Structure 1
Amino acid sequence: MINFEGEIVQDQHVNLNIENRSFNYADGLFETIRVINGKIMFWEDHYFRLMASMRILRMEIPMQFSPEFLEAEILELLEANKLTQQPARVKINVYRKPGGLYQPSTREVNYTIRTYELANSFYILDEKDYEIELFKDHYLTSGLLSTLKSTNKIINVLASIYAEENAYQNCLLVNEKKNIVEALNGNLFVVKGNNIKTAPLTDGCLNGITRKKLIEIIKKTDDFTLEEASVSAFELQKADELFITNVVMGIQPITKYRKKNFSAKVAKQLLAKLNTTARLG
């Protein structure tokens, strides 16, 4: 079952309009959310990121799109799919209604919500081999639009194919200034000694919810200092640890980049704190 434009229907009964603007022009956004036993993790952060992104794309936000309304829509769908007592991933898509070419004929939006079962209630550190490489065939553009979860992810698609063809578990994306921006599916953190560094939003990295929560956690601890600054390729091989964050997996340690192998000591410490934050939040 999915929520298709406000109605819960069977997946096979959904007919997407061929004039859908997300399909034709990537005129859409998505939000990926983790739910634990009917509790939406970091819901306020997800909600305000979605609203801010819609404003940036000059979408008309429906009057009923309150936090309470969308939360109720999510919970109703989880109930319909019998996922209220287990972990789940929720994906919300918002897209401008059909009409027009590049210039839309309306700024009103439609939406869909889907749910997927997850294996674990809280984040588990995956310490399997996880090798990455840089993807330099195409560059992200630094700036505000790159920070959004828009449906224009063609660079991520091409980089995923490159990773598969070369037996890498992930790739790091680079912007036009040759700075390391993020991984295919999350934000990158670089650990060197007691300093933890991540790319600033101005470099074009995703404005990730887990990134935000981890920055808050690091700033509250005396063990580490947090730096939001551009990351160069040179820094990667000098680092003690590299790890990727997103809302579904939490923290994924990188074990190898070129000839350098990495530990996951700091990632383990931070994952424990992230799970605590998720329980409380």
Structure 2
Amino acid sequence: MAAKPEVTGFYDPRTGSIQYVVADPATRKCAIIDPVLDYDEKSAATATRHADAMLQFIADKGYEVEWILDTHPHADHFTAAAYLKAKTGAPTAIGEKVTEVQKLWKGYYNWTDFPADGSQWDKLFAEGERFKVGEIDARVMFSPGHTLASITYVIGDAAFVHDTLFMPDSGTARADFPGGSAKILWSSIQDILALPDETRLFTGHDYQPGGRAPKWESSVAEQKARNIHMAVHKSEADFVAAREARDKTLPMPKLILHALQINTNAGRLPEPEDNGRRYLKIPMNLLEGAAWDE
């Protein structure tokens, strides 16, 4: 039987994101997964409310942070990895394919001097690499399709699948971002659904279909039986056709061009210019063909 970490989710209603604190109850060691740095796109203001709430929770529980983990460079929120590293001293980590995402977006942002080598993180995980949270065995599964760099963290009996599967009533993640592929996403989901049926699956987003309360935990068995995409589209060809048709109707996340320049830099904000201000850089007409919000 796999060890059972304590998993606590923190929901961000602004972005529909869930952040996690994953702890070994025996040692009180923990990992933070996919933390959110608050950002208001209207005022371009940042804040640390969500990250600070997690730090307070960790202090109240008497946990010690061992890892700050991201599953991929997010398109809909800023990562708080750099802030949390400064606060805790814990190492940051992401999958090694992040360098492919960096190379892609380095060109989009015309960053001539940007190091697209993953050196912004303390650790780049390879496919199948093993580590520990406290005394609980953990490993990395490469789960591309949503992005080139997406990974799943399997920690004891819990798998953090982020943007591959959503809750069963919400289906699967889009695959039309630069570097995405519905065909590759299908393969990644098959690998996740090959985990033991009792494996707890924790998703990175929930958009509350029908107005229900936020949810983020399911199981492999539930996903196989009830996921509105995977239980219906039984072949790769059917899934790819349905996923690509659906993606054509979706507008881009409102923060994608904001977030990728932060998240490909491990959560570091742009350096202040000579007037002391930080500036984001938005490439115009890069994502042509995406649906518009009406």
Q: Which has the higher strand share?
A: 1
Q: Which has the higher helix share?
A: 1
Q: Tell me, yes or no, whether TM beats 0.5.
A: no
Q: TM-score, normalised by structure 1?
A: 0.30
Which of the two has higher C-alpha Rg?
Answer: 1
Q: TM-score, normalised by structure 2?
A: 0.29
